[in-house]
Amino acid sequence: MKNNEAIEKRRTFGIIAHPDAGKTTLTEKLLLFGGAIQTAGAVKNNKIKKTATSDFMEIEKQRGISVATSVMAFEYAGKQINILDTPGHKDFAEDTYRTLTAVDSVILVIDAANGVESQTEKLMEVCRMRNTPVIIYVNKMDREGKDAFSLLDELEDKLDIKVRPLTWPIGMGDRFKGVYNLHDKSLNLFQVNKTKVEKDVVTISDLNDKTLDELVGEQFANELREEVEVINGVYDEFDREKYLAGELAPVFFGSAVNNFGVKELLDTFIQISPSPKGRETDARFIEPAESKFTGFVFKIHANLDPKHRDRIAFLRIVSGKFERNTFYQHVRQNKKMKFANPTSFMAQDKSIIEEAFPGDVVGLYDTGNFKIGDTLTEGENLQFKGIPSFSPEIFMELENLDPMKSKQLDKGIHQLTDEGVAQMFIVQPGNRKIVGTVGQLQFEVIQYRLTNEYGANCRFTPKPYTKAVWITSDNPEQIESFKRAKGNHLAKDKDDNLVFFAETQFLLDMAEKDYPDITFHKTSEFKLETI
Ligand code: G4P
């Protein structure tokens, strides 16, 4: 296949949601449409179960299974759809943030009753850093939820993005009648329908048509007429350019578990979503259509089974064609590498691939050569940007309990942080190590792996911080005075950048106010925030 054809054919995206909003259910319905799975429940079985929080080995086992479905590819309407799975478990949020660097757009699932939730806000913040185009699917309309207009206001308010409904719900909960498609002026009547894909769609080009009253009842018909008038008055026409720029999110209403509103979502997605996009590097911008291959590693999955110590590095192809058994340049290590068994993750079965194109993700078996953000090229010396570290939320000091094993501990913690399991900061005096994660679970994982894989003996002591921000300033005096005042809250990250630990958001706000010449960055990649 030619590169250009392959690029035009591909759509690589992620589905994001606060846990329980319906991400897994929606993913499954999309896969059913694409024929990638035959039975409902196939994805669900791979979901990390919430009840398992206390048993991380169990979670790891489940994560192991879910590697197979880390990328779910299927064909639909002549397009190759690559869905990059993002772990719903909040302790793996950092994994999700990084996966978002490898997608070209996202579908955000909202629970109609809960509206915007804490994880929804965080995920959207990450999307907005890269101006990722977003489509919103308001789920669970078969249950009593918030009023649709208030939901739209809440989305605009809390997510700081303009919205434009493309379908509109008629009633909700027990009285949910269906949705009216504002774009093609058709009425999609709701059915409790867990298996079938077809449904009743009636074209109502004129809302004054009495058929509407017959189908949904006079009261709902009148309500719809009024509401559509309001929508047309309040919201501008849908503008694809604004969507592609990440400024405007089209909104759909439906019920994923009932397979309702999913087809409209998918059909619109195919029409409006972007094909694989290029990426910025430290040298220049790489266009997907360039003939030479480039790609970056955005996720590393380590196998905890001591009998299989392999890791899988997930590589997103940015440009050119990736081929099996071909030498590529590992830029950071300045060495040539070739891959005998690059793997694709097509729904359930992993298979070795011969070639892959921009937008695709391949799994590379790795024995410790890769870290998150690594770049492969055909020889050009460049490094992809935009795979930053995000502020951890839980901080612990790592203490070595066995001075004879300090080398092992050092090696272990460095490798684990390369994999992105956690971040490490060094504080003075004494080169003390502070480990930061987004979830408690990671500490169990780290401790277990340091003991079992590296033979180290360590202990974690909690620190009272909740945020780490990277600080820079053009005013050396102010930095010096900040250092004097906050010395015991300062550290260096692995790349020697200065980091400030704050105990609360309030204290962080105070610091920002007191030191106006210092910039406090939310991610390790400062330039990204100003794009
Ligand atoms: P997640 O991946 O975002 O965490 O959510 P998931 O799809 O697992 O959905 C969370 C729960 O919400 C599930 O119920 C699921 O069945 C339900 N759900 C999803 N879509 C809809 C919908 O459109 N309407 C209603 N009423 N519920 C929906 P559960 O009880 O946790 O699991 P299960 O036993 O039903 O599978």
| Coil vs helix vs strand at 225 | helix
User: Helix axis angle, 56-67 relative to 440-454, nearest 10°?
Assistant: 90
Q: Is the CB of 256 under 6 A from ligand 1?
A: yes
Going by alpha carbons, the residue nearest to atom 4 of ligand 1 is 20
What is the residue-wise DSSP string for 412-479? HHHHHHHHTS-EEEEETTTTEEEEEESSHHHHHHHHHHHHHHH---EEEEEES--EEEEEEES-HHHH
- Name the residue with tokens 């950071």: 332
Q: How far is the CA of 70 from the centre of ligand 1 (A)?
A: 20
Report the predicted TM-score, pTM, of the whole model to 2 decimal places: 0.83
User: Rounded CA gap, 507 and 467, in Å?
Assistant: 10
Going by alpha carbons, the residue nearest to atom 29 of ligand 1 is 20
Q: What is the pLDDT of residue 206?
A: 85
Say how many C-beta atoms besides its own lie within 10 A of residue 368's C-beta: 13
pLDDT tens string 290-346? 999 999 999 888 765 556 667 889 999 999 999 999 999 999 999 999 999 898 865
Mutate to test the pocket of ligand 1, among 24, 25, 139, 143 (most ligand atoms within 8 A of CB): 25
Mutate to test the pocket of ligand 1, among 45, 69, 96, 257 (most ligand atoms within 8 A of CB): 257
Cα–Cα–Cα angle for 317, 318, 321, rounded to 5 degrees: 60
State how far the alpha carbon of 418 is from the alpha carbons of 190, 301, 382, in Å.
49, 11, 19
Q: What is the pLDDT of residue 530?
A: 36
State how far the alpha carbon of 147 is from the alpha carbons of 120, 151, 169, 283, 492, in Å.
19, 6, 10, 49, 48
CATH class of 394-530: alpha beta
Residues in the chain where the model's pLDDT stays below 70:
1, 36-69, 88-92, 193-200, 303-309, 345-350, 526-531
What are the structural domain ranges in the chain? 3-272, 279-377, 394-530
User: Rounded CA gap, 367 and 194, in Å?
Assistant: 44
Say how many C-beta atoms besides its own lie within 10 A of residue 229's C-beta: 11
Say how many C-beta atoms besides its own lie within 10 A of residue 144's C-beta: 13
User: Rounded CA gap, 397 and 95, in Å?
Assistant: 22
The residue type at 167: T
Q: What is the pLDDT of residue 528?
A: 43
Q: How far is the CA of 45 from the centre of ligand 1 (A)?
A: 13
Q: Is the CB of 142 under 6 A from ligand 1?
A: yes
For 3-272, the fitting CATH number among 3.40.50.300, 3.90.25.10, 3.30.70.1340, 3.40.50.1220 is: 3.40.50.300
Are both 3-272 and 394-530 of the same fold?
Answer: no
Going by alpha carbons, the residue nearest to atom 11 of ligand 1 is 20
Q: Is the CB of 408 under 6 A from ligand 1?
A: no
CATH, range 279-377: 3.40.50.300
Q: Is the CB of 20 under 6 A from ligand 1?
A: yes
Q: Is the CB of 40 under 6 A from ligand 1?
A: no
User: Rounded CA gap, 25 and 18, in Å?
Assistant: 13
Q: Is the CB of 88 under 6 A from ligand 1?
A: yes
Structure tokens at 207: 């809302």
Q: Which long-range contacts (CB under 8 A, 24 or more apart) does 120-127 make?
A: 120/16, 120/17, 120/18, 120/21, 120/158, 120/159, 121/158, 121/159, 122/93, 123/16, 123/17, 123/96, 123/97, 124/16, 124/159, 124/160, 124/161, 126/97, 126/100, 126/390, 127/16, 127/100, 127/246
Candidates 350, 349, 347, 351; CA nearest to 37 is: 347
Q: What is the pLDDT of residue 50?
A: 46
Q: How far is the CA of 458 from the centre of ligand 1 (A)?
A: 40
The residue type at 151: L
